[in-house]
Amino acid sequence: MGEEGTRIRVHCRDCPFEKVVASDDDEKPAEVLIDHGQRTGHTLAIDRMDD
């Protein structure tokens, strides 16, 4: 126990796009990054939300 609930916040530096995904979700943060980045050419960043 203890690893579940880790969330990753993916946010875009170039537009208001933001998405929070759990580390164990089907939808991985990297996929969100790549998908938005490829569509728009924007730069994205990731923050861990430990609590």
Which residues of the shown chain bind Zn ion in the complex (CB under 5 A)? Answer: 12, 14-15, 17, 40, 42
- CB nearer to Zn ion: give 18 or 24: 18
**Strands across the sheet containing 44-49:** 18-22, 7-12, 44-49
CA dist., res. 1 & res. 29, Å (int): 21
Query: Whole-number minimum distance, CB 31 to Zn ion, in Å?
Result: 15
- CB nearer to Zn ion: give 24 or 27: 27
How far is the first Cα of the chain from the last one, in angstroms, to the nearest whole number?
Answer: 15
- CB nearer to Zn ion: give 1 or 38: 38
